[in-house]
Structure 1
Amino acid sequence: MKALQFEQAVESIIKRDKRFDPLAYLFLKEALDFTLKRAADGNDGESRHVTGTELCLGFRDLAVQQFGPMAGTLMTEWGLRETSNIGEIVFHLIEEQMFGKQDSDTMDDFEAVYDFEDAFVVPFQPKRKRERELVR
């Protein structure tokens, strides 16, 4: 996929739906590449389709790896509040023919895969604060 085509697709999406920052789309593309590589590594080097759940987990892992404690702040800045938002971005990109889709792929695949607070904020809180929150 050519970078210019992808950027034009994102511009087209943003014109009709401004909920998510363009950087969220670019990061999602990186997260897809990251997740596809991880899937291939676990499949004797053979590429394969990844599920919505796998993509959400790859998205989380890459965000924490790249952005550390700033991941939660960036997600908020980009308009992302839950994993279903990742699915919305994916389906926007499918509509623009930037991503492929299998007949079995649905928005439900992205529902409540994990909580953004637990994924992007809690791991970076001081240990005592995490322990107090677990007691509640």
Structure 2
Amino acid sequence: MTARAEELTVNPKLWNLIQEDPRYMYEAYEFVCETVTYTQERLGRAPAEHQREQSDTNHVCGQELLRGACDLAVQQFGMMAPVVFKLWGVHTTDDFGELVFNLIKIEQLSKSDRDDPNDFRDVFDLHAALADGFQLTTAAYPARKIDR
């Protein structure tokens, strides 16, 4: 059996961005773009297939995007979501604002006149939101006595 290498497609705009601002991993930017689409679909605001540009009816605000990011991260990464975010350099909701506005700067996302980086400032505890609903316990495993 031989392994076949998949061809990776790297977005040159994103690649240049992480060279200029190495705080966040490439995957964090891809995840934010995926989150926009996921959140639009979840809220019934996905652009129609024939629609070339985003409109106000497709817009998602900072808080909606943050909730969508947490939902999507838990779906994709489960209990490992906080670890994945940490590896990507994402620790707070403020980091999502930085990611979003960096993507706007390189024209990978668009913004409305109402959008502001402060929309992401200290919205909620990101780690707690990712861990919500998960509980680590050893209750399923009975305590064992070790004879010495």
TM-score (ref. length: structure 1): 0.81
Q: Aligned-pair distance for 1:23? A: 0.5
Superposition map of 1:112-123 within 5 A: 112-123=122-133
- Spell out the pairing of 1:1-136 with structure 2 (5 A cutoff): 7-40=11-44, 47-126=57-136
TM-score calculated relative to the size of structure 2: 0.74
C-alpha RMSD over aligned residues: 2.4
Distance 1:28 1:48 in 2: 16
Which has the greater radius of gyration?
A: 2
Query: How many residues are aligned here?
Result: 122
Query: Which runs of 5 or more residues in structure 2 are unaligned?
Result: 1-8, 46-56, 139-148
Structure 1 or 2: more helix by fraction: 1
Instruction: Report the AA paired with residue 107 of structure 1.
Output: P
- Which residue identity is paired with 2:63? T
* Percent identity (aligned): 37
Gaps of 5+ in 1: 42-46, 129-136
What is the CA distance between 1:127 and its match in structure 2?
A: 6.5
